[in-house]
Structure formats: C-alpha cells, structure tokens
Structure 1
C-alpha cells in the first residue's frame, strides 16, 4: 500500500505514556512464507500476457521503537516516540516509521513529526490480516512526515483529530501553500462499537481529496466490520495507492469492504471482501485467515487471498498496455511482540 506519515499516534500513545516516564523499548517481528500466482491477460496492446508465480519469505511491518513521557507539572506531560521498520526477511536494515514529540494535557495532545494519519486510524478497520499485502481495497494513507497534529480529549468515547503536512518534499510536495495535505477525523469508540469518519485533501498544484467511513461492532464471540471510501482523480494521481499485486487504480475511485472475525478461545478466524471501482478499472478481493495465539505476545497464522482487477495499467510495463489481472496469495507466518 502507498503510505504517507502519521498523526493519530499521539492520541493512541498519550495516556499510557504519561503514566510511564521511563523510556519503553518495544518491537515486533512478523515474518511470512508466501506463495503468489498472478495471471495477466491483455485484451489489446503489444504484450502477450503471462503469469508470475513464486515463493518468498516476506517481512510484514516488523519494527523496533522507543517511547516515553516526562511529567512537566500542572497537568502537562511531554510525549515522544521513535519507531523504525526492520527488514526481518533479509538484510535487517532500518527504515523510518514514526518520529515525533508533543505536549499532552487536559486540552488534548499536540505533536510534530512523522506520525500516523488520522485517516488510517479512523477508516482502515478492515486491515485485520497478518500477511502483508492482503488489504487491497484500502485507498488511504498510513503515515506522513512533516506533520503537525492535534488530538482532542476523549468525551465519553467521542474524539477528533486534525493533521497538517507542511512543505513535505518528494512525490507528495504538491504546492507552496502553508500545508500540502490536511486531514481531519472524528471517532466514536465506546464499548463494543467503533465508528470513524475522515477527510483528507491536498492543496496547491494538486487539489485532490479522499473521504472514508468505517465501523466495527464486537458482539463478544464475533465482530463485524465495514468501510467505504471515495477519492477523486487528483488524489489518486498524487497519492498513487497500490492495489492488487503492484497495480494502481486510475481516475475517480470508490472502494468498499466488509469483514468479520470469530473468536474461539486462543484462536481467531477472519474473512474479508473488498471492491474497488474507478474510471479506468474495477476489481475485487477476498481473504480468509486463521490465527492461533500461544500467548499475548506470540501467534502463528495462515491466510489466503484471491483478487482480480480488470483493465489496468501495470507499473511494471508500458502504460499503454492495459490488461486484466487475476491472482492468489497464500501465506503462513509467525509474529512476536515485545
């Protein structure tokens, strides 16, 4: 998935960090053995089509980080977090995930740096699988750098988040305005019900926008999830969300997904179905998964995904070669948190 940087992290971390002034070292190792098989069919053009089949050991969001807080008195505390992605499947190299500092108090939390986007925390509730890449229906951004974020206090489960991405360089630098991207979200989390809505927009040379709505309800032995997103052509062109084995949607795009989890003691069964419909192509994906928890920190899992996307420009070939893609992915893995 195409990713930016973060902001809802401040809300998620502020409360536990205030209670712990000493730095906390934490991390995750998530390694998967994955088999994928993609078939390409060209309705017209110069390419004859083909398939891509392979086994691979893949890393999925392994990380190591440190977080903490300092009591400043008068109900105020400083909070901070550094988090680095670790390639657990190969070189073990590091990449930046989170890096921010902020102030929290009765007024809420202000933070600056690389953070989670409010959009991701509010809308991507369907991201429940453990094998990387099995979330093809999601259009939004995950983390962003150069971000200034504010998270409101929690009012009986209701909270809000606002983030600005200011003068972000590289592919996401879309203008010379004060903020290149801005993102606002509203969330309600109370007992078994979780609902989120978010709007994300670019301003400057590109004026694209994306909005999404998601909900999850936990019935005890099982939970149901749903989410809906709409993005205009300019947002899709600027953010380039990748889907379905490395492809990218084109034009105005609508995406929706449904999912569920069943809890059986130390085991969890999962299923999702998602659909993407854009001006240039459309597709669907469904996944099945089973997970066994040996403890609160160690789990193993097996997952399967089947997806198809019609009339797509694939990033690996000439943009004039439109073709259809059908693919399956199967993965087993282990995850340990510390």
Structure 2
C-alpha cells in the first residue's frame, strides 16, 4: 500500500476507533487520550514519509547485453564447381556482468553464444562462458575463454568472414574450454598466461595447453609476442611462437602477424599482412595477403597463399554493409575464389 493511501486509512481508523470503543464499552475517552493517540499516529506517518524519501542505494552491478548479427551471401568458385550460398560470419549474442566486491575486488562473468544464421538461425553453442575476479593482484578467470595467443591475431583480424585472420585461422587457437587464465596490467604492458586442464583427456595428467605472452599497446603502436605448447591427440607436441605489430597513420592502418609452428613431424608457419584505409566517414577499403605453410610437401598438404579485398559502407556506428573478394591459391589443392556481400548489425545495451 502506498504511503498516501496508508495515511488516509490510518486517519480513518484513528477517528473510528474511539467511536467503536464508546459503543462497545459505553465509556468516553478524554480529550487528552485522543490527543496522545493522534500524536502517535502523526509520528508514525512522519517515519513512513522519511523512509519513502530516503535515496535508494546505488547499484554496484553493471550488466551488458550485446550481440552482432552477420549474414553473408556469395559465390564460391573452384576449378570443378560453383556454389551459391548464404553464410554466417560468426554471429553471436552475449551478456557481461560486473560487480564491485569488498576489499577493492571486482567480480565478473561473461557468456557468449553463437547464432548460426546459415543453419536455421540455430542458437546455443558457447563461444565464451567464464567467471572471474579482479584486484590489485591482476585478473583471474575460469571457463571457456579467449586465449593469450589472440594477442597475435587481434591486429590482423579485420575482415568480414568466419575464417580470419586468413593464415592464423588455419593453425592456431581462438577460444578454449576448461581454461584457467591470469592477466596483469603494468601501465601500457599486459602480461598474460593460460592453462587448459581437461580431466577427460586421458593422455595428460596435467595441463593440455599452456599459453603465455606479453603485449605493449599505446595510441602510437601495438607490439605483442606469445608462445604456446599444445599436446596433440597423437601424443606429440606443438610449439608455436608468434609476434605481431600494428600502427595507425590517421586514416591508414597497417598490421602484420607471424607465427613459427614446430611439430614433431613438420615445421610450419603463418603470415598475415593487412591494411585498411578510411576513404571518408562512410567508406573503408581493406587489403590482406596471407601465407600458410603446414610443413607438408605432398598432395596431403594444405599450404596456400591467400589474398583479400574488401569495401565497407558504414551507414552508422552499429550497421555496415560490405562486398568482399578472397582468393585462396593452394599449392596442391584446387584454387578457391569467393566473392560475397554481407551485412553486420552490432548492439550493446548497458543496465
């Protein structure tokens, strides 16, 4: 009941009570007794009004609901076939929550899930799902997360397709489950370390994947280096060292990422070099050259050189359309040419 209604009800009862009392007991209360009752009622009403006017306690929790829908439509041409297809460039929706804790700590959580526009708009496969805590000691989290190695891929991940960066995507990790991560920022320098612990993997009693790296990031330049060791299904190990560099010159952006991949049976590498140029506030052109070498030298090898050209039309900060051409020239397989158009709608609501 609202205070205004409560006030009226109490006043009515306060005057009706003496009348009922007179009728029941056939006695009359004195004016002093009535005055005392009214004073008590007024005090109670004053307390209720004070409680109503007290400012609410500010929320210590921030919640974000976000997403990015990215349908594509295009033609893929090989030496033997042409295929028209509707595709999806990693559409997703997710939430992120953050809460202030005691002792200067902050708790956080994130869940991000695929929206597969290509296949009936299916929803559910997790891209990210973790909980963590942050303080002066750094940032610690457990769950399915982006790995440290993405320090290498982030600067060259600029195109509008699911398989980018073009060479990096063929060999390296993005999001890993059963992951424990630690991050610590020292000014412009970020130190990062990860470990995957999958008890269902009978091949290993300890970590299945270890990844560590360091990043230096300012408005002037981005430099990063990272190393990971991964235990493969056949019991062998994969060791990868990656470095990346990016720089912006007003409207021009340049970036390059290289990885040396050492396996027991083959040595490989990835190289991605990209550039983008903002023609004006609405139009941007992007170029990319990539080389993936899996270390093979026969028909089973998937070594290739790839080239990408993209023109984007940014109608708003949240909505863009694009046309993109990519050529993948395999050393032993059929050459693949693909041209596609697409749209991207991003949203992010804070509560």
Shared fold by TM > 0.5?
yes
Does residue 306 of the first structure (1) align with residue 322 of the second (2)? no
How far, CA to CA, are the matches of 2:136 and 2:260 in structure 1? 35
How far, CA to CA, are the matches of 1:198 and 1:233 in structure 2? 17
How far, CA to CA, are the matches of 2:227 and 2:81 in structure 1? 37
Shift of 1:23: 2.1
How far, CA to CA, are the matches of 1:168 and 1:309 in structure 2? 38
Does residue 28 of the first structure (1) align with residue 28 of the second (2)? no
Aligned residues: 278
Q: How does 1:183-222 map to 2 (within 5 A)?
A: 183-203=211-231, 205-222=235-252
| Residue in structure 1 matched with residue 133 of structure 2 by the alignment | 103
How far, CA to CA, are the matches of 1:121 and 1:168 in structure 2? 27
> Is the Cα–Cα contact under 8 Å of residues 151 and 226 in structure 2 kept in the other structure?
no
Using the size of structure 2 for normalisation, the TM-score is 0.75
Higher strand share: 1
| Residue in structure 1 matched with residue 344 of structure 2 by the alignment | 335
Which consecutive unaligned segments of at least 5 residues does structure 2 have? 1-58
| Residue in structure 1 matched with residue 81 of structure 2 by the alignment | 52
Provide closer, same or farther for how the CA distance between residues 174 and 221 of structure 1 changes in structure 2, counting only shifts above 3 A. Answer: farther
> Is the Cα–Cα contact under 8 Å of residues 151 and 215 in structure 2 kept in the other structure?
no
| Residue in structure 1 matched with residue 334 of structure 2 by the alignment | 325
What RMSD over aligned residues (CA atoms) do the two structures have, in Å?
1.9
Which consecutive unaligned segments of at least 5 residues does structure 1 have? 1-18, 40-50, 238-250, 312-323
Provide closer, same or farther for how the CA distance between residues 80 and 262 of structure 1 changes in structure 2, counting only shifts above 3 A. Answer: same
Q: How does 1:29-108 map to 2 (within 5 A)?
A: 29-39=69-79, 51-93=80-122, 94-108=124-138
| Residue in structure 2 matched with residue 6 of structure 1 by the alignment | none
Deviation readout 1:291-311 (Å, 9 max, x if unpaired): 111111111111101111113
Shift of 1:206: 2.5
Equivalent residue for 1:118, pick from 135, 148, 154: 148
| Residue in structure 2 matched with residue 255 of structure 1 by the alignment | 270
Shift of 1:333: 0.4
Q: Which has the larger radius of gyration?
A: 2
How far, CA to CA, are the matches of 1:287 and 1:203 in structure 2? 32
Provide closer, same or farther for how the CA distance between residues 290 and 192 of structure 1 changes in structure 2, counting only shifts above 3 A. Answer: farther
SS in 2 for 1:121: helix
Does residue 270 of the first structure (1) align with residue 278 of the second (2)? no
Using the size of structure 1 for normalisation, the TM-score is 0.78
Higher helix share: 2
> Is the Cα–Cα contact under 8 Å of residues 165 and 272 in structure 2 kept in the other structure?
no
Shift of 1:168: 6.0
How far, CA to CA, are the matches of 2:165 and 2:131 in structure 1? 30
How far, CA to CA, are the matches of 2:206 and 2:269 in structure 1? 29
Structure scoring higher RCO (CA < 8 A, sep ≥ 6) equals: 1
Query: Structure 1 stretch 158-167 or stretch 280-289: which is displaced more?
Result: 280-289
